[in-house]
Structure 1
Amino acid sequence: MNSWHGGRLQRSQAAWVHARLSEPTLIDDLSWDSSDSVVLHVRTTDGDVIVKAGGPANHHIGREISAHVGWTAPLEATGHAARLLDSSADERVMVLAHLPGELVEGTDAEGHPSTYVQAGNLLRRLHDREQRTDAVYERRANERALAWLDGTHRVDRASAAHARGVLLADPAAPVTVVPTHGDWQPRNWLVDDGTVRVIDFGRFAFRPAASDLARLAAQQWRDDPTLEAAFFTGYGGDPRIPDRWRMDALREAIGTACWAFQVGDEAFEAQGHRMIAEALAAF
């Protein structure tokens, strides 16, 4: 008799998964503690899969389903992203093929230029899927950053005031947007015998291409510029537009510091405060 219980899945989600998989067995819970998404490694008689699900307020599962349905096919075709096997937007649950490899973050591969050459190439393949002109993206991004500052945080008063002034003064002109991952960094890359693959499209959206570089620039590239150069070798150039990049960096910094405070991640919050100081120094 199968002992499937669904781990931390909601009851209806566990039932949905059980109805679609052959003798599922929970192998590991890969969820991040700071997220309401559940990520499970599940074994079935047909092979291993990843089950992802979210709570009632979760919007990441819907984004990830959209990414796989419409935009990740070229990466899936070459085995660099997981195939979507089944999903339910109503249940906020999806089943993905299991990809081999270990997370790049924390391994030797995180500091190796070849990792970034591959990551740059994979990101370019995603970005090249389509281009659009978005007349309201910048305005809405500024509004989201202002909303973070209106909420609870520990950004000092002077920095918050400076940031508000920059955001309110920004002309927010139309920009070119492309399919973006939204969290392009080593914790969302796998490495398997030297091959880099990408996971977690839960922040997928159409944004300026440079927005996918913000987390790398604040972390790995900041400590080792050779990794940045390697990345752009793979990507085929630098998509950053200086005035827009300054705004991207500021908004990313604000979101990092405020979100991390709200979820109690003090180390990430400290990084966010550093990012705010460095971003504001450019204005």
Structure 2
Amino acid sequence: MSSTKPLPAALKRWAEQRIGPVVSVRDASHSWDRSRVWDLEGGSGVHRYLKVSPSVKFFTRESRAYRHIVPALGHTRAPHLIDSRAQDLVLLLTAVPGAPVKELGLDTAQWRTVHQQAGALCARLHEAGELDRGDRVKAEASLSAAADGAEKYLARAGDRLDHDEQQLVRDHAARLRRVGPVPVGYIHGNNQPRNWLWSTSGLALVDFERSRPAARVQDFVILATTQWADHPDREKAFLRSYGWELSDAERHALRCLSALDAVNCLAWGPDNGDAEVTARGRRTLDRLMKEDRP
């Protein structure tokens, strides 16, 4: 477990210039070493969040998302950007009500309700404005770009995959290049219950550092390999409110992307001590290997 990360004094002063005095600070970072997020409580009891992005790429993606994409979700459905400072990769955000869905011990019906609302929010996000020319080019190339990452992940994973498993990943990367056109838009990029907050007000999405123009189906990979694998009722609820039945091409792309996600998990998870991510990768790979055998 990572140690508590203190908020740098300079960043606290910067935040107070924008929101007034801060009376308490709580480290709200994930266990990942590069995660740096603090809950700031003001004198009136109002909470805001200060986040230092782990990289320029993530800061650029997230600050852009909050300015141009996230408002389409609605006032209580995502944080809003108060201010940002590029030189420090820092974002100052409003808080939204709720707790991460994965921590709530929901029953079967509640899980379906959550997925129903998540599908509606994803639809709003994916349709948040027309892609400009540059974004459309990136989005339409996103599946090929994902396939390009296969060899990098395989090299990092090393002997965590045997020869047949490595070949399966390569085969799915090759198939992904041949999928053809699929719907594109702005995606969340890390769409999963860890980033869904549930309250009496409904569902909210957080953490947009991986938001980008891409094939929309890329936003369903983690759900397909975790939530939906054992609970098809959740997938049905999500897609019904999403308002779009996945095409054959999207289903094929989702399977290929799941193989790439598996090797990525097996490359990243053990190196970062993340047992949950590692288990996701191993489980997905085992399932695909079983399904691919005659």
CA contact (8 A) 1:84 1:95 kept: yes
The aligned residue for residue 274 of structure 1 is 283
Greater CA deviation, 235-244 or 202-211? 235-244
The aligned residue for residue 100 of structure 2 is 103
**1:116 and 2:123 correspond:** no
Residue 155 of structure 2 aligns with an amino acid whose one-letter code is: D
Alignment of 1:223-262 (within 5 A): 223-239=230-246, 241-262=250-271
> Quick one: distance in 1 between partners of 2:24 and 2:279?
35
The aligned residue for residue 151 of structure 1 is 156
TM-superposed CA distance for 1:15, in Å, is 4.2
Greater CA deviation, 106-115 or 88-97? 106-115
> Quick one: distance in 1 between partners of 2:9 and 2:119?
40
TM-superposed CA distance for 1:78, in Å, is 3.2
% identical aligned pairs: 26
TM-superposed CA distance for 1:85, in Å, is 0.4
The aligned residue for residue 24 of structure 1 is 22
TM (norm. structure 2) is 0.84
SS in 2 for 1:68: helix
TM-superposed CA distance for 1:282, in Å, is 5.3
Q: CA RMSD in A?
A: 2.4
**1:54 and 2:61 correspond:** no
Gapped runs of 5+ residues in structure 1? 1-5
The aligned residue for residue 43 of structure 1 is 41
> Quick one: distance in 2 between partners of 1:182 and 1:104?
18
2:212 to 205, 211, 215: 205
Q: 1:194 to 1:282 in 2, by over 3 A?
A: farther
The aligned residue for residue 142 of structure 1 is 147
The aligned residue for residue 65 of structure 1 is 63
CA contact (8 A) 1:9 1:53 kept: no
Greater CA deviation, 79-88 or 190-199? 190-199
SS in 2 for 1:105: helix
1:161 to 144, 151, 167: 167
CA shift digits 1:74-119 (9 cap, x unpaired): 21x3311111101112211111111111111131347421111111
> Quick one: distance in 2 between partners of 1:144 and 1:25?
45
> Quick one: distance in 2 between partners of 1:96 and 1:209?
26
CA shift digits 1:21-48 (9 cap, x unpaired): 3112334222111241211110124621
2:228 to 221, 224, 240: 221
The aligned residue for residue 3 of structure 1 is none
TM-superposed CA distance for 1:128, in Å, is 1.2
CA shift digits 1:109-149 (9 cap, x unpaired): 47421111111001001111235354532221111222111
Gapped runs of 5+ residues in structure 2? none
Q: 1:222 to 1:165 in 2, by over 3 A?
A: closer
Greater CA deviation, 44-53 or 177-186? 44-53
The aligned residue for residue 196 of structure 2 is 189
Residue 65 of structure 2 aligns with an amino acid whose one-letter code is: A
Residue 233 of structure 1 aligns with an amino acid whose one-letter code is: R
Q: 1:9 to 1:269 in 2, by over 3 A?
A: same
Aligned residues: 276
